[in-house]
Amino acid sequence: MADLPLPPGVDAQRLAEARRAFESALGSDKVFFEELDRETYTDKFAVDDALHHPSGAIAPTTVDEVQAVMRIANQYRIPIWPISRGKNLGYGGNAPELTGSVVMDLSRMKKIEFDEQMGTVVVEPGVGFYDLYDYIKANKLPYWISTPGNSWGSVMGNALDRGVGYTPYGEHTKKICGMEVVLPDGDLVRTGMGAFSDAPTWQAYAYGFGPSWDQMFCQSNFGVVTKMGLWLMPEPESLMGMDVEFDSPDDLKAMVDTIGPLRREGILQQSPSIGNWLRAAAVLTTRGEWTDKPGALSDDVISAIRKRFNIGWWGVSLRLYGREEVNKASYKVLEKAINDISPMSIKPTSWVKGEPLEHTGWTGTPMTFPMQNVNWYGGRGGHIGFSPIIPQDGSKALAQFKRTYERYKEYGMDYQGSFAFGERHLTNVNAMIFDKDDPKMMKGIDPFFRRLVADAAEHGYGEYRTHLDYMDLVAKTYDFNDHAMRRLNEKVKNALDPNGILAPGKSGIWPTNLSGEREA
C-alpha cells in the first residue's frame, strides 16, 4: 500500500478528522480517501508520476456544500484543489498542484439555465461541452456553442483557464458575463450585475459598478466558481469558407501576414488556427508505420506522410459566419487574399440554414478525436503543451517556429505546432507528444520544456497557461519590476485566503504560509 500523501504541516490524525467532518457535511458517498480514489485523481499524462498526488477527494453537489467544504478546510487547515471535470489533459488533468491537497470534484454540479431571447446561459462546473450541445439540440435552441479541440471537458473550466475554440465566439474567456463564487472563507459573492439582487441584467452586462472581478477568478486561486454566465453565438444564416494547405515551412510568414489583417479588419471574425502537418497526420496514422529510427523524423519521412494523406506542411481552416449575402461578398475578399500567397490547395465549403451541417469545431460540434495524437509514438501516450503568446507578425512567427523546431530536433522529438489567432496576438501551441513507456524519452521532456520557456522569455514571450509542473517557472518569467504582478496576486491571495487553503500554487500564486513550497 502506498504511503498516504499529506499536505505540509498536516499529520494523518488531523486529515482523518477533516475526512470525518467532510463526511458529516456531505455524506460518505461524496468523500473518497481510499488508495484507488487517490490514484483516480492523478495526472495521467504526468511527466513525473511521483508528483501532484492528492490525499483524497470530495464531490459536493450544491453551493451550500461547497461553502461547508471551505469552512471545514479552514478549520483543519487542509488545502483544497477544485476541479470542474478534471479533463484539462496536458496541463495536469484532475491532479492538484500541492501534494496532499484534497481534490474538490465539482463534476456532479450540472445545472443549465438558458435565456433563449438573449442567447445567454448560466452553467455549473460539471456541465460539459457535450451536455450543453445536447441541451441546445434537445430544446431546438437557435444557438451554437464554441468547442475546444478536445471537447470532453467543462464549459466553465475551459473558459476559466482561457481555453479557445474556432468560431467567432472562440475566445471563451471574453464571453464570460457574471459569476457566482464561493470565497476561501465560505462567503458567497456574485460578480457584475449579479451583485444587485435579482438583477435581470446579470448575463447582459459584465461589469456592474466599481471594480470588475470576473477575470480575477480566471486562472487564479481566489475563489471557487459555482456558476458562470456565458454568451452564445446565434445560429448563423450561412457559413462559407475554405480549408487551405501550404507546401513549405516558410509559408508561415505569408499566412500570418495575410490572415492577421483580415482578422483585425473583421472580415474573419473566427479564431483560425494554423497547424503543421503532424497535427493532421497524428490522427490518421502512427509513427511506427513509417520508421523505427529514434530522433526527430527526417524530411524524407515527413514528405512521404504528407504525400500519402495529401496534406501541406501547414494547413488552416477559414470560415465566414452570418448573412449569406454578406458572406458572399467577404468570401471574394478572402479568396483573393489567399490566392495571392500561392497555396498548395484550396477546398471551398459552404452551408445555408436548412442544409445538413458539417460536424466540426467550426460549427461548434463537440469532438474528441484530436486526442488520438497521443498514440503517435505508441505505448502509454501523453502530451503537455507549451503555449507562448507572440505578436501577430509573420516574421516573428516564423522566427519563433524555427527556434522551436530546432529545439524539437535537438531533443529528438517530432514537432506538432500551431499558431492560433486572437484579434491582435498569436498563441503558439506546441504539443510535446510522448510515450510514457519510453524512459529515455521521458527523461528528456523536463529539460526540453524548460529550454523552450527560456528561449521564449529571451524574446519577451510568456506562456498563457501551463502544466502544474511549470506554474512557478512560468510565473517567474513575468518579471517586470521584480515580479510586481506576482507580489500583487499574493497580496490579494493572503487577504482573501489567510489560511492558504484554496488551490495553493495555482498559476504560481502561493499564500505566505506555504511560500516555501514555491520552486526556486
- List beta partners, residue 144: 233
- Exactly one of 91, 130, 166, 321 is catalytic; which is it? 91
Q: Which residues of 129-153 are buried (b: 16+ CB within 10 A; e: fewer)?
A: bbbbbebbeeeebebbbbbbbbbeb
CA–chain centroid gap for 18, Å, is 32
For 186: left if phi > 0, alpha if psi spans -120 to 50, otherwise beta; the answer is left
Q: Which three cell numbers stand for residue 127?
A: 456541465
- Exactly one of 380, 464, 478, 518 is catalytic; which is it? 464
Q: Report the alpha-carbon angle 22-25-31, nearest 5.
A: 40
Q: Supply the DSSP string of 441-483, one letter for each residue.
A: HHHHHHHHHHHHHHHHHHTT--BSS--GGGHHHHHHH--HHHH
- List beta partners, residue 389: 427
- Exactly one of 287, 306, 465, 486 is catalytic; which is it? 465
- The one-letter code for the residue type at 185 is D
Rounded Cα gap, residues 239 and 327, in angstroms: 7
Query: Is 464 a residue of the active site?
Result: yes
Beta strands 120-123; 112-115: pairing state = antiparallel
Backbone angles phi, psi at 378, to 5 degrees: 90, -175
Q: Supply the DSSP string of 137-178, one letter for each residue.
A: HHTT-SEE----SS-SSBHHHHHHTT-B-SSTT-BGGGGEEE
Query: Is 91 a residue of the active site?
Result: yes
Helix (H, G, I), strand (E, B) or coil at 129: helix
- The one-letter code for the residue type at 264 is R
State the catalytic residues: 91, 464-465
